[in-house]
Chains A and B, each alone.
Chain A
């Protein structure tokens, strides 16, 4: 077994992150091995984006530690970032640049060979249908097209680790399918892995090799869908969908039922 296959691509232990009085992460542990597509599921505000920012070197943990391919993002930020392809939750791009200007900037900063960069960008841009938008300011693009630009920018250097925060936001069906296939192919490359957060249970269910449920700043359950089913209690049985398992693990099933009931009560008299 090659050394790259044994070193975890991501290793996080007892990670805590405080924003003033708010505890965004409270002792999160996470390990992603090569070949894995690790899905991070959690309700809004559970800490998904925070751990992703810490892994990508965009934020520092209050305590605990993170290593990416054996390197600390705090101590070796440039080395770690050179191995990561990152798609942020919100498209934070230079809106006045065109996709071409943006890719030129990204490829230059990543020291890519021109021939390689041209080849990859040409193939990816054609696959995502960017011809119409390639020289238009990013500000004028739709949300989905902006997302395609971010995805290409994350893939342009063939990173060892793809970190994707809600990557399918705004993508049309065709582009979503292409991207999901790209993710699968990426994870099959030696020493590579994918970490992505999503709210789309169906995607997580079909794409991820392992799923971590994050709740109140820590991983409360982890494993394949079958393993999660066995850990879930209440309504989630052996045939439960990931959504039911998720709601059970995050103790939100009863809350959902009560909320729906309250809404039904509120609307029924008016519609009657």
Chain B
């Protein structure tokens, strides 16, 4: 088998890897014949989704590189170049790792490769097929990352040495990224297969969930975070370069080392600013070489592990023998809520939910901080931002149902319980917004306490909006002739299906209108009365009315 043949044949295990990972993270219905969630459609949708996802991530990496170098394009300063190089590498590393969270979770379970050792393949051929299936996972993203970063430095600096260093840094970066990604997939597998109910196991799972949730949450919002964080980071790098000791520390850290090395090559005068900057250049080149060596070693180890997975030598499941069979029973709503949290917490795709409060905190705090002293308009804007992030929780929680939904629908459980449980989680995730605004008001010793009432009053609206969003999904599935008596398809929300996207967009618009109405009432009442108290009163009236109407609707429906 030559390399071209191995590459062609590696498509099968690659597709299987993507399919199994998607099934693990999203879940789909078994379905019956003629149903919309039939397995054939699922396979097609998942393959299409994997391709779209890879193209999108590659696009993000390309656009992210352009974004990172945009400041240097406008103002050709050494600090802007260092920032551009550093940011573009950090961005592609983050995207590469976050992308792998979606496509690699099933890798270590080895099921995708189970058939290969049974075929009459030589050791080398088996290894090649496995390695190529992993290469296929990252190919476009890696090529786009390296090509755009090197092209950006070559075009903007017109320096061959700088471009060569960028090439080395970029290759190091992607090799480290892929190694970290495969390692993280192993972490996921160990977590997913770990049993036990002891405190230690629970604590470990909790740490895993928070880390994974935060990492997953960053993917979709990397750009919005960047747009807030970019100026702050650029000014921090400028400040660091001007400081005495910090450049030396940065020159040893990836990806700052690449930024400082390239900055020093393009701007030789950089070293004359301070003795530490003079020392930082050779240090950064040494660090870069060390990172390249580390990346090669890590890649070598990763390849061995990849081959080991295909041979089934790494799949280990540790079980703990139960000492009792006792259950902890709850009321149906609480049981459903706990179930949602448990399912979401063990799934890298839906662990996103746990990252949202932290993400909301970061985005709202940054948006408030960047707007000077707290004013009603800033608080309204930040509240709206927090609302929309919380509404995303709802669609994520729909995905937690996965393959279990059909079973749940066979239970004597009112659909209202399902809606309420998910709505409670979305509402709780929003509570960080009033907390942040309250904390900032206290820190600022602001005289207007009415401002904190804005996000607090909005809590009722968020509850109504999330319930409406869920109800809309359920109704639209009913209208679409869903497979179940409750009309919900077990496949959850597929981000790659046009039908689901349209449904998602409409549900989001409905829910969005609900959260915006009280904010609109505030603005209208304030313009009419010039009183914050009256405006908050109007807002509360609308918000509570929405909640009341929604609760009545749920009881009736």
Among A84, A90, A109, A111, chain B packs the most CB atoms within 10 A around the CB of: A109
Evaluate whether A101 and B339 lie within 8 angstroms (CB atoms) in the complex, with A53-B32, A125-B325, A131-B322 already known.
Answer: yes
Interface residues of A in 114-147 (CB under 8 A from B): 114, 117-118, 121-122, 125-126, 130-137, 139-140
Cα–Cα distance between A101 and B328 once the two chains are bound (Å): 9
Evaluate whether A100 and B410 lie within 8 angstroms (CB atoms) in the complex, with A89-B30, A90-B30, A95-B404 already known.
Answer: no
Chain A residues within an 8 Å CB radius of B342: 94, 96-97, 101
Q: How far is the CB of B419 from chain A (nearest CB, A)?
A: 15
Cα–Cα distance between A56 and B486 once the two chains are bound (Å): 12
Evaluate whether A105 and B335 lie within 8 angstroms (CB atoms) in the complex, with A92-B407, A135-B197 already known.
Answer: yes
* B24 and A139 contact, CB distance less than 8 A: yes
> Does A178 have its Cβ within 8 Å of any Cβ on chain B?
no
Of A73-81, A184-192, A206-214, A235-243, the segment with at least 4 beta carbons within 8 Å of chain B is A73-81
Cα–Cα distance between A97 and B490 once the two chains are bound (Å): 17
Of B65-73, B160-168, B313-321, the segment with at least 4 beta carbons within 8 Å of chain A is B313-321
* A100 and B327 contact, CB distance less than 8 A: yes
Cα–Cα distance between A56 and B485 once the two chains are bound (Å): 9
Chain A residues within an 8 Å CB radius of B35: 19
* A117 and B329 contact, CB distance less than 8 A: yes
Chain A residues within an 8 Å CB radius of B414: 78
Chain B residues within an 8 Å CB radius of A269: none
> Does B331 have its Cβ within 8 Å of any Cβ on chain A?
yes
Cα–Cα distance between A80 and B317 once the two chains are bound (Å): 39
Provide the main secondary structure of the chain B interface: loop
Of B120-128, B188-196, B210-218, the segment with at least 4 beta carbons within 8 Å of chain A is B188-196
Cα–Cα distance between A20 and B36 once the two chains are bound (Å): 11
Cα–Cα distance between A101 and B326 once the two chains are bound (Å): 10
* A105 and B339 contact, CB distance less than 8 A: yes
* B325 and A49 contact, CB distance less than 8 A: no
Chain A residues within an 8 Å CB radius of B328: 104
* A135 and B196 contact, CB distance less than 8 A: yes
Which size class do B's interface residues fall under?
35 or more
Evaluate whether A20 and B407 lie within 8 angstroms (CB atoms) in the complex, with A73-B485, A98-B195, A136-B195 already known.
Answer: no
Chain B residues within an 8 Å CB radius of A53: 32
Q: Which residue of B lies closest to A89 (CB)?
A: B30
Q: How far is the CB of A62 from chain B (nearest CB, A)?
A: 10
* A134 and B412 contact, CB distance less than 8 A: no
Contact residue among B33, B347, B406, B413 (Cβ-Cβ distance under 8 Å from A19): B33
* A135 and B407 contact, CB distance less than 8 A: no
Evaluate whether A78 and B412 lie within 8 angstroms (CB atoms) in the complex, with A97-B343, A137-B193 already known.
Answer: yes
Q: How far is the CB of B41 from chain A (nearest CB, A)?
A: 13
B interface residue numbers (CB < 8 A to A): 24, 27, 29-30, 32-35, 192-197, 317, 319-322, 324-332, 334-336, 338-339, 342-343, 346-347, 402-407, 409-414, 483-486, 490
Instruction: List 10 additional A-B contacts (Cβ < 8 Å) besides A60-B485, A122-B325.
Output: A50-B32, A93-B403, A93-B407, A96-B343, A108-B329, A112-B329, A114-B327, A135-B320, A136-B193, A136-B317
In the assembled complex, 17 residue pairs joining A and B whose CB atoms fall closer than 8 Å, in A order, are A19-B33, A20-B34, A57-B409, A58-B409, A58-B485, A88-B407, A92-B403, A95-B402, A95-B403, A96-B343, A100-B197, A104-B328, A109-B335, A126-B325, A132-B321, A133-B319, A139-B192
A interface residue numbers (CB < 8 A to B): 19-20, 22, 24, 45, 49-50, 53, 56-60, 73-74, 77-82, 84, 86, 88-90, 92-98, 100-101, 103-112, 114, 117-118, 121-122, 125-126, 130-137, 139-140, 150
The 4 A-B pairs of least Cβ separation, nearest first, read: A19-B34, A108-B335, A134-B322, A136-B195
